Structure 1
Amino acid sequence: MEILIKASQFILSLSLLIVLHELGHFIPAKLFKTRVEKFYLFFDYKFSIFKKKIGETVYGIGWIPLGGYVKISGMIDESMDTEQMALPPQPWEFRSKPAWQRLIIMLGGVFVNFVLGIFIYIMLMWAYGEKYLPNENVTDGIWVENKLAENLGLQTGDKILTVDGQKIKKFRGLSLEFINGNTYQIERNGEVLDKEIPEDFISQLMDRGKDAGPFLYPRYPFAVSGISEDSPNLDADLKKKDIIVAINGNAIKYFDEAQTELNKYKNQEITVTVKRGTETKEVPVKVTNDGKLGVGLGTLSFKDLERLGYYKLANFEYSFAEAIPAGWNKSWKTLTDYVKQLKKIFNPNTGAYKGLGGFISIGSIFPAEWSAQSFWEITAFLSIMLGFMNLLPIPALDGGHVVFTLWEMITGKKPGDKFLEYAQVVGFILLIALLLFANGNDIFRLFK
């Protein structure tokens, strides 16, 4: 059921983005009286799931869910209709239109993707606002409990100040900033230190596996999630969601402080002070020979942590007018972060290519339960990502056609049809290779 819910959201989001992208080409083509022969969601090699001709255009749904297309008369595209191109140009064909009109037609899909992403982010800001843990409110620093964070040179209690000289606004954005960054600055025991992010950091991150969880955490209280079956404290008066605030009279605030205290009392019977709702009580417990209580660490939401007084969350509500700049800023941050990640992928030393994913990776980022907010946040991200990817100067993508059209406008010389055909083939091969590599990564990770 979980896979079905994720897949349904993915297909819905992808279909929406494809249709609107192709509509971005379709509308200006029609405005400039250019004939559009086909408008398809997904590809229809050999046959279609559905098709209907209205006027001069066939509208349909293909069976290969790798995208979609509009077939514009007199244009060298993925259809590779060389027979049509061998005939004399007709007034309604793409190739007969002025360069500036062809440029607008080719940029239409990218324009729609960017505008859609910005619009969705604006509406999300208006409808839901923003609630997050400000990085500056993590006043007692981070909790380091994995090798990756240790290899970065981080220690529990460090306060992360900047990445690449930029102050970090949201704590949950720290992981992405480290992925995109090269240097960072911390405060440790009152001293400010500058450190470098290893070039292969992304490779180390990917090697941990998809279920490893975040590598950076704020410091958490010692919340009990349960008692293990082999624990010496099975009969102790410890309950789920109890917060241990003292060990044998020594106050602790965070879980990472507990181990230091427990190591003092190995194989001893002691008391721990727990906070249970509004009640505080002493509970006798036994410490194992390796300094454990045999209880699990419970996770608490940021809302719970705020209620308990550990962290103060930022909570912003926006009017529609205020949501416009907030949504724009979110869109710009999404785009710049994506560009930074793409630059890392093209550097083999970073190992970022390991994280390149296909349909399984994209589908997996949707939640296992329907959430309108999450669905539209992911759709906005994908829309901006799709817009940028289509703008890359690769033949077979919109960006490739734009480059050739700009060349014509600057030099006054139009590339020959044969050149455009060969460029289209090369671009198509590159895209298929990238698609195979990305989805191959997904399959490899599944088996791994």
Structure 2
Amino acid sequence: MTSGPSDTVRPIGVAVLGMGNVGTEVVRILRDHAVDLHSRVGAPVVLRGIAVRNVEIDRGVPAELLTADAEALVARDDVDIVVEVIGGIDPPRELILAALNASKSVVTANKALLADYTGELAEAAERNRADLYFEAAVAGAIPVVRPLMQSLAGDQVDRVVGIVNGTTNFILSAMDDTGADYADMLGEATRLGYAEADPTADVQGYDAAAKAAILASLAFHTRVTAADVYREGISKVTADDLATARALQCTVKLLAICERVVDPEGKERISVRVYPALVPREHPLASVNGAFNAVVVEAANAGRLMFYGQGAGGAPTASAVMGDLVMAARNKFYGGRGPGESTYAKLPIAPMGDTPTRYLVNLHVEDRSGVLSRVAAEFAAHEVSISTVRQEGAGEGARLIVVTHLAKESALAETVAALAEIEDVIAVNSVLRMEGTEE
């Protein structure tokens, strides 16, 4: 006969800040799996309190656990770990700093806060010998933060590229499947609950940019903020763009791309960017559809690794939170600490204008002789090499679809501006970057 875990050791006290979808699931797991958590940690993990805005709402937990005073809850002597799932910048920033300054460990899913204030929070954690965990801040249940911080700590990461926003991936996947336009699929995403009432953070790329900043910081040992990330959203992607992509055996995905690049003097820099891009159908990210996320990591020795799964939702995100919570609790019990921020490399951020990418340029042109040569001349004048070009349609619907070799962003921008001035070019319909293709 085996005995259960001892009840004589000091419990690890947990405070949960916020009880939305994620917070509700965290509380449920803490209460329903208390015995298992005790065994995994070595000490009882006890929920001390839950900070909410309105304590009068029935949330299915004992009323004595609820409080509207988050500051007092964080300050309690019997709280060892603070789980922040409120979201936003304030008051989470002040609450997390208060916890860290009191040598309490923090688990957070707050990508917006981390993207701008990781340095401040990490320094407070280091100064007070506390843990700061944030696996749930990037890609929900997908374990990508810990592999970058620990599993690949002895390797050199060269590139991280991923689909890290479920709302935009659902919209683009649906546009690809149905041929519908952006507005219709945004409406469908809203109806199904994938998009917020105000979808700006998702569809304009702010959410993905915050996650890209976190991934780049971890991958390249350099402090990167959301302001360092070049960002474009998906609101200008059209059904015609998806049709063109299909004709090229590609699809369109909103990608977060973090990579090492070398400047003309041979010095390393990092490029961090978010934008919709054409991806070949055979690329592993092309088959990531619906609200799922995936991150591909390329390292010098490990090669290509892919992490795939649920990128959002209460239960999946709570799974990542609980993984961090168990780690923090074990450290409290055994007297250790998790890895802290690593910024020794201090690599500069490459300007977007210097970033080489392939492009697809869709032009509405006059259907007459000499158009192609005049268009090609402008590409050549700005040192943008053409890979392929073809004409679609005729008469008033004539289009030229130009695919380039690698070219700098600045050179392509100059080319597009010049094309718009050609009399034979009625309009530059769209410009999309291409990723995951050969040069």
Tell me if both proteins adopt one fold, taking TM over 0.5 as the criterion: no
Say which structure is richer in helix.
1
Superposition TM-score, scaled by structure 2 size:
0.23
Larger RCO (alpha carbons 8 Å, 6+ apart): 1
